[in-house]
Amino acid sequence: TGQGHVEYEYLIKYKGVSYMHLEWKAGSELESMNKSAKTLYRRFLKKLDAGNEEGLEDPEFDQSFIQAQKVVDEQEHEIEVEMSDAEFIQWEKDEKQRRLEEGE
């Protein structure tokens, strides 16, 4: 039987970016990134090979790092919605009712 190739993924936190943007990257992806990423990846592997986990970050991090703190802005976007004639008529009725309730 053939043996499958196992490639590990590594949880990456980018400098200057929130923990909300952590990404799993394969070793091959890290090797193809910039020199700094390669160096960090290889240093991590050396520590693992040496059995030295001291100084490695704990993958369990404070969950408050990924909780939204506040809403700082909004944007309005137009979207296209496909509706049947019956759905459109119902939407018009609902909008008319909403305007009456809001006193517009």
Look at 28-37, 46-55, 59-68 and tell me which has the smallest mean pLDDT.
59-68
C-alpha to C-alpha distance for 100 and 94, rounded to whole angstroms: 10
C-alpha to C-alpha distance for 9 and 12, rounded to whole angstroms: 9
Residue 77: the pLDDT is: 77
Residue 42: the pLDDT is: 92
pTM (2 d.p.): 0.49
Query: Domain locations in the chain?
Result: 9-55
Residue 58: the pLDDT is: 65
Residue 1: the pLDDT is: 47
> What are 35's strand-pairing partners?
none
Does pLDDT of 17 surpass 60?
yes
